[in-house]
C-alpha cells in the first residue's frame, strides 16, 4: 500500500552540459502510488525522468531509491536496483515479436505481462512493428513490468493514442501500482485524464516544481495553476 517513499528526488539540479534545466526539484513517490508530472513543453519533465534513470548528469541534489542514493550509478546499475523507464519513443524493436520482447526482458519476480494485458495474447507471434499504437504501448509497459521493478517511470504514454486507449492504459497502470505496490511516476500532457487516475501530481515549469498536491486538489485548482504557471 501507499505510505513509504520509494523514489525521492531532493534539491535536484541537472541539465545538459553547461545548460541547467532543473533547479532544485523535490518530489517523492510511494509504493502503490501513481504520481503524474505535469507542465508545459520544455518544463523539464523528460529531463527529470532521465536524471532518475542515470541518463542526465546531476549537478547537485540527490535521487534515492528505498533511501539509497542512485547518484554516480550507471543506467544499467540503476535498472538493477529495480527502476524501469518507458521512454517516450517506446524503444521497441520493430522486427522482434511480442514473445521475443517479453523473453528478452523477463526476470525472476517479474510480472506476467500477458495476464496484465490479455490484449497481447493473440498478438504474441506478431512483430512489434505491425502492432497498433495501443498494443505497442502495452508491450513497452509490459517489457518494463516483466523486469519486476519497484519504480516505474513512464514518459508521455498517451502520445499519439486515442483517448479510449489512453484510459485503458492509465487504469491498468493504476491497478498495477496498487496491487504490486509499485511506485509509478508518469509524465503526461493529458492533464485532466492524468488527474483522474493519478493519486497526486507535481507541476513543473521552467525546471522548477511550482506546485503539487493530490489529484483532487490539482483538478480543483487547475484554472488558477494554468494562468499562474502555464501562461495560458
Among 11, 42, 129, 163, binds ligand ATP (CB under 6 A): 42
Looking at 30, 47, 97, 174, which residue binds ligand ATP (CB under 6 A)? Answer: 47
Query: Is 158 an interacting residue with respect to ligand ATP (CB under 6 A)?
Result: no
- By beta-carbon proximity to ligand ATP, the closer residue of 170 and 202 is 202
Q: The C-alpha cell of 14 is what?
A: 541537472
Least CB distance from residue 45 to ligand ATP, whole Å? 3
All three cell numbers of 71: 547518484
**Which of 14, 27, 38, 44 touches ligand ATP by CB under 6 A?**
44
Size of the site for ligand ATP (CB under 6 A): 11
Query: In angstroms, what CA-CA distances link 68 with 24, 26, 64, 74, 161?
Result: 19, 16, 5, 14, 36
Q: 10 Å Cβ neighbour count for 107? A: 12
CB of 104 to ligand ATP, least distance (A): 27
- Residue from 39, 134, 142, 201 that binds ligand ATP (CB under 6 A)? 39
Judged by CB under 6 A, does residue 164 bind ligand ATP?
no
Residue 21 in contact with ligand ATP, rule: CB under 6 A: yes
The distance of closest approach from Cβ of residue 42 to ligand ATP in the complex, given in angstroms and rounded to an integer, is 4
Residue 25 as a binder of ligand ATP (CB under 6 A): the answer is: no
Q: How far is the CB of 36 from ligand ATP (least distance, A)?
A: 12
CB burial string 50-88: b at 16+ within 10 A, e below: bbbbbebebeebebbbeeeebeebeeeebbeebbbbbbe
Place of cell 499504437: 133
Q: Residue 45 interacts with ligand ATP (CB under 6 A)?
A: yes
CB of 46 to ligand ATP, least distance (A): 3
By CB under 6 A, name the binding residues for ligand ATP: 16, 19, 21, 39, 41-47
Amino acid at each position: 500500500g501507499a505510505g513509504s517513499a520509494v523514489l525521492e528526488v531532493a534539491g535536484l539540479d541537472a541539465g545538459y552540459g553547461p545548460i541547467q534545466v532543473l533547479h532544485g526539484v523535490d518530489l517523492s513517490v510511494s509504493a502503490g502510488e501513481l504520481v503524474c508530472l505535469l507542465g508545459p513543453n520544455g518544463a523539464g519533465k523528460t529531463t527529470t525522468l532521465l536524471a532518475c534513470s542515470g541518463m542526465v548528469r546531476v549537478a547537485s541534489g540527490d535521487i534515492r531509491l528505498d533511501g539509497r542514493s542512485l547518484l554516480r550509478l550507471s543506467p544499467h546499475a540503476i535498472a538493477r536496483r529495480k527502476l524501469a523507464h518507458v521512454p517516450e519513443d517506446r524503444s521497441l524493436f520493430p522486427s522482434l515479436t511480442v514473445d521475443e520482447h517479453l523473453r528478452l526482458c523477463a526476470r525472476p519476480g517479474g510480472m506476467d505481462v500477458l495476464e496484465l494485458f490479455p490484449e497481447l495474447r493473440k498478438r504474441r507471434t506478431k512483430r512489434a512493428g505491425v502492432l497498433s499504437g495501443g498494443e505497442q504501448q502495452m508491450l513497452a509497459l509490459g517489457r518494463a513490468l516483466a523486469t519486476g521493478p519497484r519504480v516505474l517511470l513512464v514518459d508521455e504514454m498517451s502520445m499519439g493514442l486515442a483517448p479510449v486507449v489512453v484510459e485503458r492504459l492509465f487504469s491498468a497502470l493504476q491497478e498495477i501500482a496498487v496491487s504490486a505496490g509499485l511506485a509509478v511516476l508518469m509524465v503526461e500532457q493529458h492533464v485532466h485524464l492524468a488527474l483522474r487516475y493519478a493519486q497526486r501530481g507535481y507541476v513543473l515549469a521552467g525546471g522548477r516544481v511550482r506546485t503539487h498536491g493530490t489529484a483532487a486538489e490539482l483538478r480543483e485548482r487547475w484554472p488558477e495553476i494554468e494562468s499562474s504557471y502555464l501562461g495560458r
